[in-house]
Amino acid sequence: MHELTTLKSNASAIVLGAGVSGLSVARALLQRGYSVTLLERGEAGAESSWAGGGILSPLLPWDYTEPLSRLALRSMTAYSDWIAAIEAQSGMHAEYWRCGMQAREVAEPDTALAWCHAHGLAAQRDLTQSRDNLWLPGIAQVRNPRLVMALREAVTRLGGVIHTHCAVESVSSQGGRMVAVHTLKGTYMADQFVVATGAWAGSALPNLPAAPNIRPIRGQMLLFKLEPGVLDTIVYRNGLYLIPRRDGHVLVGSTLEDVGFDKSTDGATRLRLHAEAAELLPALADVQPVQHWAGLRPGSPDNIPIIDRHPDFENVFINAGHYRYGVTLAPASAELLVALMDDTSPAFDPTPYSWQAALERRWIPGR
Ligand SMILES: Cc1cc2nc3c(=O)[nH]c(=O)nc-3n(C[C@H](O)[C@H](O)[C@H](O)COP(=O)(O)OP(=O)(O)OC[C@H]3O[C@@H](n4cnc5c(N)ncnc54)[C@H](O)[C@@H]3O)c2cc1C
């Protein structure tokens, strides 16, 4: 993936939502010469993009549809350079770490290995424990709260303006074009608009219809603090994962709960996640979590985001619905959206990420 950094456009753009999806697009647009304003209801990057784990891969990469895999693999290949550029622009460190992943008790390890081989993803049997365990040395992670802070700083240093506590409440349009968005702090106008409101893209605003099939899916996470080095790789088993940070923190996740816009946590889930995590890493058995939180993923069928022009407005675009993998998918999603906005040919087929394709997809519970 090559980032287009040549100045091309003198256009102005307003991005709704300053999570990883909105910030990544804003940065890419700024590099193309757009003037960019982000309007964020709360603090930048404080919703799903903060709450997630930062694994830079689908959990069991062989378990997904080709459109998701294509976007993920393109992003995963680009990630270390993408992060390095953001770190250089921001002067901040996002803790990208190729720590690898152990996938334990894989249901069909031969099929999984064949998939990895066919898709250029390094994988081998991890015979130290069981024939059904796989070791994926190339899987990386990023400390996602630090990534969003670095992105926010890069956007600002590139000349972008971020208005926080500035929720878009309605929009107005004329002749198939959006002309303005309205907030309690005032009205903002631009040539082009990007909807990157995560789980909220699935809810309509006055004069802005809801994006199809996007809804919040809650995920609860636990955080532990161990000595650095006790765990130095991601471990996954049967829906549960452990993510080590360099400083000894270990994240444990997660749940998939279809409960609406409710970020509460519960004690029963804390106990279950803790017990299952301690089976994978006994050092966790006798320590209590230092934090327990929940975030709202922008859920979509098959985890496939909508990256497209809005069907009702020629100057409105959407980048939302990345479900479990929005941090992973950020570079290639921004690349595709900016190509669509610039009217240049995308580097890969955009059809599966279209609004129309999202209308046709159906939810599969538990994915
Ligand atoms: C528990 C958990 C674990 C996860 N683990 C991983 C992982 O390991 N790897 C991975 O790749 N992904 C992971 N994810 C998924 C990832 O976090 C999301 O897919 C990604 O953060 C989505 O980014 P976003 O910018 O689209 O949404 P968000 O980060 O939710 O940002 C949307 C923003 O829009 C703002 N907004 C909404 N409505 C308005 C409005 N009307 N006006 C202005 N602003 C508005 C919101 O306040 C919010 O800041 C995880 C998520 C969770 C919850």
Ligand 1 centroid–CA 61 distance in Å is 21
Give buried/exposed letters for 312-321 (b at 16+ CB in 10 A, else e): ebebbbbbbb
For the whole prediction, is pTM greater than 0.85?
A: yes
CA nearest ligand 1 atom 3, residue: 52
Q: What is the pLDDT of residue 10?
A: 84
Provide the residue count of the chain: 367
Please choose, from the candidates 142, 147, 145, 125, the residue with its C-alpha nearest in 3D space to the C-alpha of residue 134: 125
- Check pocket membership of 61 for ligand 1, CB cut-off 6 A: no
Ligand 1 centroid–CA 101 distance in Å is 23
CA 303-163-92 angle, to 5 degrees, is 70
**Which of ligand 1's atoms lies nearest the C-alpha of 219?**
1
Alpha-carbon gap, residue 129 to 104, rounded angstroms: 9
231: phi then psi, degrees, rounded to nearest 5: -130, 130
Ligand 1 centroid–CA 216 distance in Å is 10
Alpha-carbon gap, residue 62 to 103, rounded angstroms: 12
- Check pocket membership of 58 for ligand 1, CB cut-off 6 A: no
Q: Which amino acid is at 201?
A: A
Q: Which amino acid is at 353?
A: Y
Q: What is the pLDDT of residue 79?
A: 98
Q: Are 5 and 85 in contact (CB under 8 A)?
A: no
Q: What share of the chain is helix, strand, coil (3-state, %, to 5)?
A: 35, 25, 40
Ligand 1 centroid–CA 200 distance in Å is 9
17 CB neighbour count, 10 Å cutoff: 30
Could you list the pLDDT tens digit for every one of the 367 residues in the chain? 766 555 567 899 999 999 999 999 999 999 999 999 999 999 999 999 999 999 999 999 999 999 999 999 999 999 999 999 999 999 999 999 999 999 999 999 999 999 999 999 999 998 777 889 999 999 999 999 999 999 999 999 999 999 999 999 999 999 999 999 999 999 999 999 999 999 999 999 999 999 999 999 999 999 999 999 999 999 999 999 999 999 999 999 999 999 999 999 999 999 999 999 999 999 999 999 999 999 999 999 999 999 999 999 999 999 999 999 999 999 999 999 999 999 999 999 999 999 999 999 988 765 5
Ligand 1 centroid–CA 323 distance in Å is 8
Fold of 8-97+140-214+301-367: FAD/NAD(P)-binding domain (3.50.50)
Residue 197, CA distances (Å) to 53, 215, 216, 357 in order: 19, 11, 11, 19
- Check pocket membership of 72 for ligand 1, CB cut-off 6 A: no
Alpha-carbon gap, residue 44 to 156, rounded angstroms: 12
Q: What is the pLDDT of residue 4?
A: 56
